[in-house]
Amino acid sequence: MRTRSRIMASVGQRDTGPEMRLRRALHRLGLRYRLHDRKLPGSPDLVFPRFRSVVFVHGCFWHVHKGCKLATEPASRKDFWREKFEANQKRDRKNYDSLLASGWRVVVVWECALKGKKDEELEKLGAHVRSWLLSKERFGELGYSDVVSVHNLEMSGDVEGGKPGKEKRDER
């Protein structure tokens, strides 16, 4: 139990690997942003005041990305983990609702969309986020399946210029 506790305590909340990959991809596209604005609910990972938009980079495990292979459930202390994950999801929803109510737009980029991706794939994901920023969508999510579906559409020639293929909408 001590080992797991030590490992979990070492998990950072800022400047994580997935967050840094997305930041680099967006910066290469000329997008500028603020980091972790504590004045906003949930201290979003990236804040784009110009677009009145925020980006959260969520770990699939900690925020329970439904249907994702990275969102595993620990075998021990199931009640503890269920309560922990439910509290995380409740806090996330509260933060999204507060941001949306105050006129901000919110997009969640899931860890699985970033993990293990090559520079070319990260560039496409960055373009996908940029397209979302330029859209009028108020809420969006980008996970592995969204990135794969856009990549497959681009390969088949069905999408011009890397426009987003499939943005999930939240029923708020």
**Which distant-in-sequence residues (6+ apart) come within 8 Å of 20 by Cβ?**
none
Helix, strand, coil percentages, rounded to 5, for the chain: 45, 10, 40
**pLDDT value at position 73?**
82
Convert the pLDDT of each residue in 128-169 to its tens digit. 999 999 999 999 999 887 654 443 434 334 333 333 333 344
> What's the pLDDT band for 58 if we cut at 50, 70, 90?
very high
Residue 165's pLDDT is 36
Please compute the mean of the pLDDT values over residues 97-117 and round it to a whole number. Answer: 94
- pTM, entire model: 0.78
The answer to whether the beta carbons of residues 128 and 106 sit under 8 Å apart is: no
Q: In this structure, are residues 142 and 107 in contact, taking their beta carbons and an 8 Å threshold?
A: yes
Residue pair 46/23 in contact (Cβ under 8 Å)? The answer is yes
**pLDDT-above-70 percentage for the chain:** 76
Q: What residue ranges define each of the domains in the chain, with the CATH number in brackets?
A: 11-156 (3.40.960.10)
Say how far apart CA 59 and CA 44 lie, in whole Å.
13
Q: Tokens for 163, please give them.
A: 């426009």
pLDDT of residue 74: 85
pLDDT in tens, 116-131: 888 889 999 999 999 9
Hey, which residues does 105 pair with through a beta bridge?
53
Backbone angles phi, psi at 131, to 5 degrees: -60, -40
> Where are the extended beta strands (E) located within 41-153?
46-48, 53-58, 105-110, 139-142
Contacts of residue 171, Cβ cutoff 8 Å, sequence gap at least 6: none
Q: Which helix (H) or strand (E) holds 119?
A: helix 119-134
DSSP state of 108: E
Which pLDDT score is estimated for 9? 54
Mean pLDDT of 100-123: 92
The average pLDDT across 50-75 equals 90
Alpha carbons within 13 angstroms on the beta-carbon side of residue 127 total 17
